[in-house]
């Protein structure tokens, strides 16, 4: 998608009579301006309570590593409110990752690689929180992670922003309905995340105790 944006800008410039070389250079500059603005304004579009939920999580679980997996170009390090809580991130738009975007397991494997310094899964407990059953919950479970599904306003499929046609949306909702029982925990707002994580850890501890007995 990054290249598509650059190409669209370049095409508009050439159609306006700008030479090919200049159009390419200007399209690169314009894309970087857009990307900087995108990250700047992300600060003002965060879910209510997101930063507090991260702070509570970091306090409740000392030593926890929090990472971000995204198909977009948002740079968590460029969002001041959130940046202090994140140890790593991976984007499906990155060179070396694209075209393996969510729900590909490859992008999740890359996240694990970055989180562990290349060591891979160990004895750590991995929990993935996402707002899409198909892109987040299903692949994370396949990876062996615990899952928390952020279900916005009772929507069992995805968040409120979409460019899909009504037919595509209906098909996606049907698929989401079939996945409704996949998450380990479902929450309706991000401020519920710390309590959901605590419940998951407590449940895991109880299960371990039973197995040991």
Q: What is the pLDDT of residue 209?
A: 52
Of 202 and 153, more confident: 202
Task: Categorize the per-residue pLDDT at 208 as very low, low, confident or very high, splitting at 50, 70 and 90.
Answer: low
> Is the pLDDT score of 207 beyond 70?
no
User: Which pairs count as long-range contacts for 109-117, CB under 8 Å and 24+ apart, including other chains?
Assistant: 109/143, 111/67, 111/69, 112/143, 114/67, 114/88, 114/90, 115/65, 115/67, 115/87, 115/88
Q: For the ranges 81-90, 128-137, 150-159, which has the lowest average pLDDT? A: 150-159
- pLDDT single digits (tens) 141-198: 999 999 999 997 655 444 455 677 888 888 888 888 888 899 999 999 999 999 999 9
* Percent of the chain residues past pLDDT 70, beyond the cut: 91
140 within 8 A of 130, measured Cβ to Cβ:
yes
Mean pLDDT of 41-55: 91
């Amino acid at each position: 998608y990054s290249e598509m944006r650059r190409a669209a800008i370049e095409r508009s410039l050439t159609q306006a009579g700008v030479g090919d070389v200049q159009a390419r250079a200007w399209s690169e500059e314009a894309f970087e301006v857009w990307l900087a603005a995108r990250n700047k304004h992300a600060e003002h579009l965060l879910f209510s309570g997101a930063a507090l939920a991260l702070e509570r999580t970091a306090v409740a679980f000392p030593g926890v590593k929090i990472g971000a997996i995204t198909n977009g170009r948002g740079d968590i390090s460029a969002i001041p409110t959130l940046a202090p809580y994140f140890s790593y991130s991976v984007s499906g738009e990155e060179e070396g990752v694209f075209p393996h975007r969510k729900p590909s397991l490859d992008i999740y494997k890359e996240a694990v690689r970055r989180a562990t310094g290349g060591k891979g899964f160990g004895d750590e407990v991995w929990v993935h929180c996402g707002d899409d059953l198909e892109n987040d919950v299903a692949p994370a479970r396949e990876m062996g992670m615990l899952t928390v599904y952020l279900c916005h306003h009772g929507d069992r499929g995805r968040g409120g922003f979409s460019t899909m046609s009504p037919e595509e949306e209906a098909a996606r909702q049907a698929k989401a309905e079939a996945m409704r029982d996949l998450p380990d925990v479902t929450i309706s707002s991000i401020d519920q995340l710390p309590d959901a994580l605590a419940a998951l850890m407590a449940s895991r501890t109880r299960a371990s105790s039973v197995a040991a007995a």
